[in-house]
Structure 1
Amino acid sequence: AVFRGSQADVLARMEMAVSACAPESGVVVRVTSDCPLIDPDIVDSQVGWFLDHRDRYDYATIGPDLRLPCGTSVEVFTRQALADAHANAVSVHDREHVTPWIKDPENGLRNGITPIDLDAPDVRLSVDEAADFEAVSAIIEALYPLNPEFTLHDVLGFLTAHPEIAAINGNVVQTTGPYAAKPARSK
């Protein structure tokens, strides 16, 4: 299904989409459109972990140490957390980025950290700039013909073998979200 809404109020758009398309859903999975290399295995793992711990958490993501590449994270939260955020979030930032209100401990929701066995936070796979599009396109053009169901591990292996591709957008600075202006970690 396709759902359209306000470009500025993404939180309202998401609330309306969930209400229209999955009103009985108890769990919401959020991935963003500027992240075309989301790994379904990571989504499945995150959703499974959240469902196993849903009595303890209202929200979960992989973090807080940002071990996934920028552009591959997944957020899972309860339908009620989304409704609460929609009803209570007032700042432009909270409404544009959907989950900051949910993640704010002052709002009383329970946030969980999903474990993951991966460490590649310095890789950029989000598509926000022309250089990002060029790098991600090169990855897809190389991997898709070999295996249309390639994984994040395949992407990371490819980038290790082809550092010139990772260098295409290596100087792009993330300006929003958890990866905003984070310096590269020491190896």
Structure 2
Amino acid sequence: MNINVSIEARMTSSRLPKKVLKPLGNSTVLEVMINRVLKCKLVNKIIVATTINKEDDGIINLCEKKNVEYFRGSENNVFQRVLQAHEKFETDIIVELTGDCPFIEPRLIDEAIEFYLNNDYDYVSNSIKSTFPVGMSIQVYSLKALQEVSKKELTSMDIEHVTPEFYTTKRFKTYNIEAPKNLYFPELSVTLDTKEDYEIITKIMNHFKNDYFTIEEMISYVRKNPKLLQINSSIKRKGLS
């Protein structure tokens, strides 16, 4: 069984262009994320799902440097890009991540995969309802399920966000993993959409001075330094409500 992670990443973000290759610690945002995902025990391949846009050549260079797979597809049709990437690499179970989550916790990824494998759900996520810090979003589902969705007439939300059909209709059995009490911190956002996000992410990275620290360590640091939350607390997040 091929359990593959896809990381959606491109350089032409509307709010913060070139964000995935911005410096972070001794590397870049995307490289920090890849380094963390490489710690997962249940993942076979990491596939960076980027675009055919020449501006994304730098992402390809990073993938080759890190020896991780990549796929180049449509810039605006993210659904098609993710689907084609996983079809190319013969994925059975998709673990979908986005490239603006550099501090994703590998243990949470493994736990989500394990829950999916041990239970009878079509779609498992920890972000249908937000209980973890923003920037820990994990989605697990099968390639067959995504292919089934592709047969319908896709909406603009499907094309941009890939998975709304799973959790906005009753066609599929879904499960939301909620944060345990010690990890419940939805007020903290470490996703990278804006310059304010970049500021808080950089401050956290500069404190730990390495690519890997646990989600518990990060939460503890921010709780002891609550002024950090004010940096990006006013940012309105794009996406589904």
Q: Would you say the 8 A contact 1:89–1:95 is kept in 2? A: no
Deviation (angstroms), 1:63? 5.0
- Does residue 102 of structure 1 match 2:166? yes
- Which residue in the other structure is 2:179 paired with? 116
Give the secondary structure class of the aligned counterpart of 1:31: strand
- Contact kept, 8 Å, 1:35 with 1:71, in 2: the verdict is yes
Instruction: Tell whether 2:208 aligns with 1:140.
Output: no
Which residue pairs with 2:214 in the alignment?
151
Is the 8 Å Cα contact of residues 67 and 120 (structure 1) preserved in structure 2?
yes
TM-score by length of 2: 0.67
Question: Aligned partners of 1:11, 1:132: CA distance in 2, in Å?
Answer: 26
- The aligned counterpart of 1:40 is 106
CA contact (8 A) 1:144 1:150 kept: no
Please give the TM-score of this superposition, normalised by the length of structure 1: 0.84
CA deviation profile, 1:70-115 (whole Å, cap 9, x unmatched): 1111010111111122232511111110110122324x11112224
What SS is found at the alignment partner of 2:124? strand
User: Separation in 2 of the partners of 1:91 and 1:64?
Assistant: 19
How many residues of Structure 1 are paired with residues of Structure 2 in the alignment? Answer: 171
Cα distance, 1:122 vs. partner? Answer: 1.1
Task: Give the counterpart letter for 2:95 in structure 1.
Answer: V
1:26 aligned residue: 92
Give structure 1 regions of 4+ aligned residues with deviation exceeding 3 angstroms.
none
Q: Contact 1:68/1:120 (CA < 8 Å) preserved in 2?
A: yes
Aligned partner of residue 72 in structure 1, secondary structure:
coil
* Aligned CA distance change for structure 1 residues 105 and 12 (closer, same or farther; 3 Å): same
1:160 to 205, 213, 223: 223
Higher strand share: 2
Whether 1:88 aligns to 2:126 is no
**Are 2:80 and 1:15 equivalent residues in the alignment?**
no
Distance 2:172 2:199 in 1: 39
RMSD of aligned alpha carbons: 1.6
Task: Quote the residue 2:71 is aligned against.
Answer: 3
In 1, the alpha carbon distance for the partners of 2:169 and 2:108 equals: 25
2:122 counterpart (55, 58, 70): 58
Distance in 1, matches of 2:131 and 2:201, equals 19
Q: Percent identity?
A: 25
CA shift at 1:149, angstroms? 2.2
